Amino acid sequence: MSIQKWTILGTGLCGGILGGVLMYAGTLSPLAAADEDAGPPPASLARAAELSDAFRWVSRRTLPAIVSIRTTRRISSPRMTRGQDDFPFGRRFGGSQADDLFEDLRRRMQEQQSPGNSGEIATGEGSGFIIEASGLIMTNAHVIRGASDVYVGLADGREFRATDIRADDFADIAVLRIDTEDTLPIVPLGDDRDAEIGDWVLAFGSPFGLDRTVTQGIISAKSRGMKNLPVRQEFLQTDAAVNPGNSGGPLVNMRGEVIGINTAIETRSGGYDGISLAIPVSLARWVSDQLLQDGRVRRAYLGVTPAELTPEIARSMKLPTSRGVVIESVRPGSPAATGGVEPGDVIISLNGEEIRTRQQLMTIAERLRIGTPCTMVVLRDGSTESLQITAAEFPLDMADSTSPASSSRIEELGVAVAVLTPELAEQLDINIDAGLVVTDLLRGSIADRLGLVPGVVLTRIGNTDLQSADDLRQGLLEAGRRGQLVLLVSSSSGTRLLSIPFEPQN
């Protein structure tokens, strides 16, 4: 009844206003005529409308090729002990927490576990995009890692079970296929090297399960390294809003071409804080081509430990420039050693490309043609020297040292660990002598809640230095008695102290 009264009052008020307008029509008519003769809107509004049209065009072209990815995994091991709820999944303690859509990107994978100790089904969500009309899809490796089944949802509402899944964890790239006789829409791959800082970009994906969402921003930086994560590759930085669930979706330029894969966010809140990171499509293409051809990725290997050349180091070495990367050590018998590289050399170019950062050096080095000589230009004792380096394939014994066969499972923590070797330390770019490398972890486990990822090194538990898996098990018993777990962990970005309430598993 009251609603009807308000409706009637509104109608009467409108009638009064209308009458007033008619009463003073003669007075207002010159102004109305002036408005009619004002002409088109200002040029700035026209340009804004053109930009809106461009966003619409890219969105219409891209959205049909965006897919949502749903994963399931049957867990056969007992459920791990959880900490208190005030420690969110994936939270990184201290520093500038890099919550990556990595390792299931802080609840981009909305994990759900049913009651019980075994036979549980874990589910996760992510994004991807179609790159071949026959049903080839690209996404992040962490989106499908550990899944028993992967389901792909198309824009038209159909869902397919993925087949022929191939992934490279090191680059966090995966490709998978769905079986369909239809010709599917695709989004073309562009070239991130053509992108410039300030370029408009659109990010596509399924944040928080909201399928086929579009956000816009610009390229904020290129060749960006990730803090607090044991990865060495370069990323595109953007301010396009990316949240859990965007992982694996494309970052697209204004020509409708993929230039990156949305992978990570830098955040203190757990959600989008203005900094998003995408794997450059040039790396994704290089990795996916090898996955499709050989089922694995062959990376080149130099055998050096590089460090950033800061102005302070450049002054202490009496160098004429602070550009380049300084070599801390050279592995005996490596391609770099054979080619004459020495500790203290400053690499300023490799294979014709200028070197400015450590990440850039490793990005260029891993893609060198294996067995083919290339030129490395170094500064040594104030002079420039050109060296001929023949890159070798990354040694299989290094790669195999992180395999499950050499790992020990620590059920109470929810991880698999391997003893750190000099080869592993070099591969992970970590300058420490002892510890346990995390090679795998269980979603929803204590390790997951602490924000650990494969590649970080556990160096101490409580007051005990970690030399073996038994040290870790004994330390967990002590932590259970105290009710608090304290771990010291290291990665290429530094060392962190992590702590969480802990109860021993019943």
* Cα–Cα distance measured from residue 349 to residue 376, given in angstroms and rounded to the nearest whole number: 6
- CA 198 from centre of chain: 21
Exposed/middle/buried for 108, CB within 10 Å: 0-12, 13-18, 19+?
buried
Distance CA 238, CA 284 (A): 17
Contact 195, 219 (CB under 8 A): yes
For residues 502 and 480, is the Cβ–Cβ distance under 8 A?
yes
Of the candidates 233, 265, 231, 223, the one whose C-alpha atom is nearest the C-alpha of residue 247 is 265
What is the C-alpha separation between 475 and 502, in angstroms, rounded? 12
Q: Are the CB atoms for 330 and 341 separated by under 8 Å?
A: yes
* C-alpha span between 191 and 164 (Å, rounded): 26
The catalytic residue positions are 142, 172, 247
Kindly tell me the number of DSSP H helices and DSSP E strands found in the chain.
12, 28
Cβ atoms of 216 and 200 closer than 8 Å: yes
Q: Strand 494-501 vs strand 258-266: parallel, antiparallel, or unpaired?
A: unpaired
For residue 221, the tally of other CB atoms under 10 A from its CB is 13
